[in-house]
Amino acid sequence: DVKVTQSSRYLVKRTGEKVFLECVQDMDHENMFWYRQDPGLGLRLIYFSYDVKMKEKGDIPEGYSVSREKKERFSLILESASTNQTSMYLCASRIRASNEKLFFGSGTQLSVL
Amino acid sequence: AQSVAQPEDQVNVAEGNPLTVKCTYSVSGNPYLFWYVQYPNRGLQFLLKYITGDNLVKGSYGFEAEFNKSQTSFHLKKPSALVSDSALYFCAVRDPTGANNLFFGTGTRLTVIP
pLDDT in tens, A31-90: 999 999 999 899 999 999 999 999 999 989 999 999 999 999 999 999 999 999 999 999
Nearest CB among B6, B41, B101 relative to A58 is that of: B101
pLDDT at B100: 66
Q: Rounded to a whole number, what is the distance in Å from the CA of A42 to chain B's nearest CA? A: 4
Per-residue confidence (pLDDT) for residue B107, from 0 to 100: 96
Q: Are strands A10-13 and A108-112 parallel, antiparallel or unpaired?
A: parallel
Q: What pLDDT score does B106 carry? A: 95
List, for residues B33-82, the tens digit of each pLDDT value.
999 999 987 889 999 999 988 999 999 999 999 999 999 999 999 999 99
Cβ–Cβ of A41/B90 closer than 8 Å?
no
Using 50, 70 and 90 to split pLDDT, how confident is the model at B98? low
Q: Check CB contact under 8 Å for A99 and B51.
A: yes
Give me the pLDDT at residue A22, please: 96
Q: Which residues in chain A are contacts of B94 at CB distance < 8 A? A: 98-99
Over pLDDT 70: what percentage of chain B?
A: 96
Local structure of residue B80 (DSSP, 8 states) = S
Give burial (CB, 10 Å; 0-12/13-18/19+) of B22: middle
Query: What is d(CA A14, CA B60) in angstroms, rounded to the nearest whole number?
Result: 41
pLDDT score recorded for residue B3: 86
- Min distance B112 CA to chain A CA atoms (Å): 20
Lowest-pLDDT range, A99-103, B98-102, B107-111?
A: B98-102
Which positions ≥6 away from A78 have C-beta within 8 Å? A13, A17, A18, A19, A21, A63, A64, A85
